[in-house]
Amino acid sequence: MDEGRTLSEKMSGRLKKPGDAGGKRVLSGRFLKAPAASGRIKSIELPELPPGMVCITGKDSPGKTRFAGVPVPLFTGKIILWEGQPILAAAGLNTTEVDEWISRVKMEIAPPEGNAEPLVSEKLIEKGSTVEAFSKAFQVIEERIEIPQTPPSSAAQTVVCVKDGANYTIHAASSWPGSIRQNVAAALKTDKKNIHVRTYPVSPGSNKELWFPTVTACQAALLSNRAKKSVRINSTAPGYPGGDFHIRGAIDAEGRITALEIIFTLFCGAVFPLEEEFFERVLLGLFSIYPCRNYSILGRISHEASPPSTFGPGAGFELGFLAGELFASRVAELSLSPPGGWHRESFPVPGQAFGPGIVLPKDFPMKDMLNTALNLSDFERKSASFEQTRLSRHHLDSEPEFYRGIGLSCGWFGNGFLSSPKDLGSAFLTLTLDKDGELTIEMPSLNHGGPLERAWSNMTGEILGIEDKSINFTNRKIKVNQEAGPSLLGRNVSIYTKLLELAGNDLLKRRFRDPLPISVNRSRRRSGNRSWNPNLLEGSPFENISWGVGIVEIAVSTVTMEVIPTQIWLVIDGGKLLMPDFAKSAVEISVEQTLRWCHTGNEQKEATLVDIQFYNNGNKRISKDVSTLPWLMIPAAYLQAVRQASGVMISRIPVTPEQLRTGGMAK
């Protein structure tokens, strides 16, 4: 049964993380990196290589690597694109010896000619008559927010290439194994059947494993090919883009948003695969849920001489929603309406599109979810009380130890991709029931043994009346020409769950009329979102939509100016929950990570209380992503609460005590 498997595949069941692969004789790969952010390499002089050590440069890559249609350089050419860009890689058994050899490499680098300016592209999106709407506006409200780029991860990302004859097995934590296989084969100019990928769990609440492991895998494979041995590389994952947003809104006498004028710039690294996908998600996030048919938006992408960028946790939504919901809260405040009431009255009604023109689902749940969140948190009473304190604090006889604030934010998350590069691939699986009653589920490698796989096993077992122990997952029979798209942005939860349910029900019908073994195939190819018009921002852009309401209560110390989140309430619609406990845990992890993104300061002595409610209207529903929503709801609610508690119009995250001091926090 194992005759067609490589040695690495036979041992893979014992491995817990990528670094465990390869054994003791695996070589360690190290990089010589560009010492400056720009310049031209005039010459490189390499020392003689010691026995057992190998070295490669960009000239040693026979093929080209592309990610979602974007060329991604493995090494520096003559022109340096960013500081830290790999110039060459060397590998050997002794890391110290490899580093010492790299330190003796001599380079001559000419400075860039003139001042290197960021490469900026821009796009103008307009609809309706913003000029007329602003001329008739009851009031015009503005909002600004600055979100800096996050630096590269401090934790090392390990990729191992195990060479076994003509076969190469890549061990990596990746949400897109198909891309690794495709690009490693291209880099080596070899048949894809010789490339195998063993995936490991990715970081929860993160999309940093989208494209970066592919680059490291190609570098490790090239070293392995040169050395004829297995190679391990530890590298630093890229950071997330930042943005600068300025929003002006025309508001009528009833507090409705009638027009928007928005100018924003996204700050990215020198390379940013799938930047169009990211840009469009930022756009949609700016509108949040509230209908607006008149708008003028000028969006820019600035590529700087810094390390490449990868998707943030919401693939752009986390930036757009922070700006959009912060603006919405400002409108609610200046409209002199209770915040909860303003949100409720501003939601779209049946038959009306939401945002710029997105089709509203028939089971739109947000009003019920908002009411639940308001009641759980006692939001309206607390907000009124904290606001009264803010307005009258100058008249207090003594200063309290803390001032408090509370904020509200709504959000939605689009499951799946907007853009349609061919290499995003399709989703596919095969169910085979054999004569012994064993069920084999053949699907792309998605982290075998994980919680989602166990949930799929339970679901399929219930459909077919089969015990979990009789259900096995495999990816060994996947055809060479089949490459699945990435298992992120809710694709693995929503699409594969639906395919598995369809295939299971089909198999259930056939098992009583067809002889065993029986195989059932199901696939879903990208349609290019024909119902979505990216120019008009109208239609149905995503496979499914997850919904959420978030409320954050904080306290600001009048002594240290530290912000302490005291309690968070989240009401989330994730459809049918396959794993309720795991879903709650995933949301809690996202909450913790989101709070670290929102503020800096000393570690809290007490944990923030988090109340998570999953919405269920009793109808049969599709499973959807839940872990991304905290990134879209918490930041805006957090900043609202900080502004209320401090009396300072904070317009930048993360929030620091210094910002409150220099902003003149009202005493």
- For 145-197, write each residue's pLDDT tens digit: 999 998 887 777 899 999 999 999 999 988 888 889 989 999 999 999 999 99
Q: Are 174 and 209 in contact (CB under 8 A)?
A: yes
Task: State which H helix or E strand residue 568 sits in.
Answer: strand 563-573
CA-to-CA distance for 579 and 630, rounded, in angstroms?
A: 18
Q: What percent of the chain has pLDDT over 70?
A: 89
Question: At residue 646, what are phi and psi to the nearest 5 degrees?
Answer: -95, -25
Question: At residue 504, what are phi and psi to the nearest 5 degrees?
Answer: -65, -45
Total residues belonging to the chain? 667
CA-to-CA distance for 176 and 359, rounded, in angstroms?
A: 30
288-313: pLDDT as tens digits: 999 999 999 999 999 988 888 888 88
pLDDT for position 603: 56
Q: What is the mean pLDDT of the chain?
A: 87
Record the pTM. 0.88
Sign for the CA dihedral angle at 510, 514, 518, 523 comes to negative
Task: State which H helix or E strand residue 300 sits in.
Answer: strand 295-303
Closest CA to 107 of 29, 39, 52, 49: 39
pLDDT for position 13: 53
469 pLDDT above the threshold of 80: yes
pLDDT tier at 2, thresholds 50, 70, 90: very low
CA-to-CA distance for 466 and 183, rounded, in angstroms?
A: 39
CA-to-CA distance for 81 and 282, rounded, in angstroms?
A: 26
Three-state DSSP state, 661: helix
Surface-to-core class of residue 354, CB atoms within 10 Å of its CB (0-12 exposed, 13-18 middle, 19+ buried): buried
Mean pLDDT of the 111-119 span: 77
pLDDT tier at 649, thresholds 50, 70, 90: very high
480 pLDDT above the threshold of 70: no
pLDDT for position 14: 64
Higher pLDDT, 374 or 486: 374
pLDDT for position 174: 86
pLDDT for position 667: 46
Bridge pairing between strands 402-415 and 544-557: antiparallel
Closest CA to 158 of 314, 30, 18: 18
pLDDT for position 280: 93
pLDDT for position 482: 53
Listed in sequence order, the residues at least 6 apart from 333 whose beta carbon sits closer than 8 Å to its beta carbon are 339
pLDDT tier at 85, thresholds 50, 70, 90: very high
pLDDT for position 481: 47
Token pair of 245 as six digits: 């947003």
pLDDT tier at 26, thresholds 50, 70, 90: very high
Domains, the chain, in order of start with CATH, read 337-417+542-662 (3.30.365.10), 426-524 (3.30.365.10)
Mean pLDDT of the 555-564 span: 92
31-55: pLDDT as tens digits: 999 998 888 899 999 999 999 999 9
574-592: pLDDT as tens digits: 888 888 888 899 899 999 9
In whole angstroms, how large is the CA radius of gyration of the chain? 27
Least confident of 131-145, 188-202, 398-412, 602-616: 602-616
Cross-strand partners of 139: 251
Q: Name residue 260's amino acid.
A: L
Mean pLDDT of the 356-361 span: 92
Higher pLDDT, 208 or 622: 622
Q: Verify cis geometry, omega within 30 degrees of 0, for the bond prior to 657.
A: no
Least confident of 317-321, 419-423, 512-516, 643-647: 419-423
Bridge pairing between strands 195-200 and 167-173: parallel
Q: Are 575 and 624 in contact (CB under 8 A)?
A: yes
pLDDT for position 554: 96
Least confident of 1-10, 411-420, 450-459, 470-479: 1-10
pLDDT for position 318: 95
pLDDT tier at 5, thresholds 50, 70, 90: very low
Least confident of 150-154, 244-248, 482-486: 482-486
528 pLDDT above the threshold of 70: no
pLDDT tier at 476, thresholds 50, 70, 90: low
Closest CA to 150 of 604, 626, 631: 631
pLDDT for position 152: 80
pLDDT for position 9: 46
Other C-beta atoms lying within 10 Å of the C-beta of residue 634: 31
